[in-house]
Structure 1
């Protein structure tokens, strides 16, 4: 489950923050990055499914009997609209070429509208409508706190990246990779793979990606790899 969840970072249509950063760095719309990630995501999940299936066969794990499987009711489908509608709106707005900020705004508005509509049409939840303003304020409060944490993290990442650029460490490391690879793209990619593992230890996705771009990105690009 952890491995499958990790792939959500590069699985279209809604990808991780790195996809938006990549789109900004290469000057392309988000949907270009999303389309390019379809094949790698399919390969990843195919290998994941194959591994899980092989392990289940080896251990003799069987599927749940039909009577033990949870049954999805109409109420479950209606409740799922709270998540499906905002997700669809994000995809539509992003693939229309609008900014991620606009996509997030449209998704929030759509989520509020659909949540209110579901509470209105569901008799058992109409009594909770009087608490709707308080719930809305609480949601904004949690969202603001989460944004504050993200801003602090982004600010810290900016400081580290600035230090790396000013000290010239990125250029020295890139030159070292080029010397080790000796002009071979295969060896350069192998060195880059190990660099990704080492530099990404204990780091979230965004700073790990930015470190790799700064350290080995220019070298790989010089060897003929497309910037995307």
Structure 2
């Protein structure tokens, strides 16, 4: 079986695994306030919480600790407070304290406009990242958004995936479109590859909100990031 695809069936839900290359640099960060200040990478984020990772050194946060600070993403910033829900080594799971004001501000912070401002076509300058041979296009905007487009050996497009915060959208040749929610992510680092393994739950049917979100992203991606013929192909398949 293709190592990038793996299906798991349980009694409760259908989940699937995907393996993706990982870009080694992340410009989405969180600096906590207080006497001990750390700069964390934001590995994952949604409108309600985030997963942080500290590259060097240690921290003193424990489960149920209060945490506050500022998120930075390119030119944008966001003040946030929250509660530490779990700690695993250098990784921390944080639930935001959400009210109407914060909900509006976090949605603006994670807007498509800010995503486009930080978007990079990794396939054009891989910066030493080992890319799979059949990965044709790779667009990345730090933790919240990534687009992967894969090809067959003959060069025709075979499948694509959108990672949009906790949402997942995929089209595969001969299978069609599926959507899901990302449940977990873990590092699969080897001497040759730097990769992430994602596990996601598969929606019953196709989630229209996820499809619309992917369509909105495509509408804002210019030809400097993705050739028009490829973008048109992705839009057509999302509507299939």
> Who wins on radius of gyration, i.e. which is larger?
1
Larger proportion of helix:
1
Larger proportion of strand:
2
Q: Same fold by TM-score, threshold 0.5 exceeded?
A: no
Range into which the TM-score falls when normalised by the shorter chain? under 0.3
